[in-house]
Structure 1
């Protein structure tokens, strides 16, 4: 009579199973770090050259849209229904408005405050659902709301400034003048973060598969480029330098890094993290 095999304990299963998401988490952190680096490069270039930030973002979206269209080819495969195409085009309008507000907030508040305001505005909806949910007691609601308001107050009163960038001491360029930023200026990047979260929610609702999500994102980028074109032209005409688009140095590091790391690469990194590690990003 054969004796049954001893059951393997859970501890041995945990020890023997490899931790696969760890390299993906490292790649995700590196990808977002490169995106932050591109934001600092963009701010440094636009501040020193006095270019139109909206027109610069538009010129970055044009090649980014071409890259997404070439890689994803949304016109191939199964035809997309209007119930997905129409919300995707509307989502492109939301993305265009997000880039306008984010660019204005970047010039007004600086890169660090703009990034913090973007992330804070993006998680505002998640915090609101947690604070005002039914399953949370009153003390936790009041304490969480007070902590959120206090963090916004400290953020708007200069507790985090552009000079706090860890690599700032190694920079060779001269220091730019520090701007005083208040809560009024922080509304712009906060609103941009809320729009970014709304755009991601719409993209998740209309796309069930990751491959379909990539195809729809290519349409979203192309739609955002079309929506942003008249705004960029108007901002350039009203700006101090009417020929700012002509003076753009396209091979510059700010231009290349914004396209590759700020738009294209960060999307695939976040999409890979959502697919393999089951991360959900509110921003």
Structure 2
């Protein structure tokens, strides 16, 4: 018979086992967000083309993914797996283009938070397949998400325009972000939906972890191929102001984007989903990203308002929670599903996945 002390230790052991993974997840997201800020400052200070920058980062990243994963070895991949992965590469390429444009125009904080707009897929699934009682809850979450993005576009996270900041306070050295409208926020929001869509396709095509990594290497390689003609066209045509201008090279901006923004974040998010059951579009993931953004905004001396940013994050987290909420009475029946609440959040759609 086990003693109460042994029982309490057994119950608490999973939390201790998950602690190193949570630290890895936190560090991985911090390094990825750090790479986003370095990329933003490089693009804004040099005027480098966004598409060409991402292409130069995806070429070595795709080569490294292919070398590490070796998708041509092991069990042969079927056409039902390879073809959707190649199509997913086109979606990934479009995501990088849209998100890079949004990053350059909206700033890093708004571009990173806009990635969580992919939770709208949960609302879409509820409207198409869900119960009517859950639809209104998800629509309410969608309204909260839109309200948060509207407040972000109006500069609530910036000290200059936030209603929580003193107008007579000292100005920061970096005043690069401006008040935007929802029209300007459409680009990064659409990129966030594309990001969630590519995760949906990746999960539906590959149910096994090792298979998922092999197919991801194919996806990144195909995304590089899709970006190649666009990057060449952008380099040849370019903008009139860039003609004859030699752009400086920033090793940290490129290396951090390759290593942390493209490669390491994939493995970190995979660990979070498989071991911590934490999907990207979730309040817990938003909390980690929000903490990293706060640190980077302070380190880079950005025009930042902590109270306004927290208000926007709280409203966004509430909206994500409601938009991706599952039926609590039937949650155990699909707890092991990889789609979880980020992808097509209702249980009818998820229970139809092949086993």
* Cα offsets for 1:104-143 (capped at 9, x unmatched): 1011101111111122x12222355568842636874564
Give the TM-score of the pair, scaled to structure 1: 0.84
The residue aligned with 2:219 is 220
Gaps of 5+ in 1: 165-172
The CA deviation string for residues 209-232 of structure 1, in whole angstroms up to 9 with x for no partner, is 111111100000000000011111
Counterpart among 33, 38, 42 of residue 41 in structure 1: 38
In 2, Cα distance between the equivalents of 1:68 and 1:241?
Answer: 33
Cα distance, 1:11 vs structure 2:
4.5
Q: After TM superposition, where is structure 1 displaced by more than 6 Å over at least 4 residues in a row?
A: 6-9
How far apart are the structure 2 equivalents of 1:233 and 1:46? 18
Please state if 1:241 is matched with 2:236: no
Q: In the aligned structure 2, how far is the partner of 1:91 from the partner of 1:252? A: 29
The 2-side partners of 1:143 and 1:210 are apart by 34
For 2:41 and 2:256, the matched residues in 1 are separated by 13
Map 1:23-102 to 2 at 5 A: 23-102=20-99
Instruction: Write the distance in 2 (CA, Å) between the matches of 1:163 and 1:103.
Output: 25
Q: C-alpha deviations, 1:51-86, integer Å up to 9, x for none?
A: 101100100000000110110111111211111110
Moved more, 23-32 or 129-138: 129-138
Aligned with residue 126 of structure 1, among 122, 126, 129 = 122
| Corresponding position of 1:155 | 152
Once the two structures are superposed, residues 24-44 of structure 1 have per-residue CA deviations (whole angstroms, 9 ceiling, x without a partner) of 011101101110110000010
Q: Does 1:230 align with 2:229?
A: yes
1:66 and 1:252 mapped to 2: Cα distance? 18
Corresponding residue number in structure 2 for 1:270: 269
**Structure 1 contact 88–219 (Cα < 8 Å) conserved:** yes
Match of 1:169 in 2: none
Q: What runs of 5+ residues in structure 2 fail to find an aligned partner? A: 162-171, 282-341, 343-355
Q: Is the 8 A contact 1:207 1:213 kept in 2?
A: yes
Whole-angstrom CA distance in 1 between matches of 2:174 and 2:13: 52
The 5-angstrom pairing of residues 64-213 of structure 1 reads 64-119=61-116, 121-129=117-125, 133-134=130-131, 136=133, 140=137, 143-161=140-158, 175-213=174-212
Identify the residue that residue 346 of structure 2 maps to in structure 1. Answer: none
TM-score of the superposed pair, with normalisation by structure 2: 0.68
**Do the aligned partners of residues 42 and 136 (structure 1) sit closer, same or farther apart at CA in structure 2, a change above 3 Å counting?**
same
SS of the residue corresponding to residue 242 of structure 2 reads coil
Higher relative contact order, structure no. (Cα contacts within 8 Å, ≥ 6 residues apart): 1
Deviation of residue 47 (structure 1)?
0.7
Superposition RMSD in Å: 2.8
* Distance apart, 1:268 and its partner CA: 0.8
Structure 1 248/202 Cα, relative in aligned 2: closer, same or farther at 3 Å? farther
Contact 1:113 1:161 in 2 (8 A): no
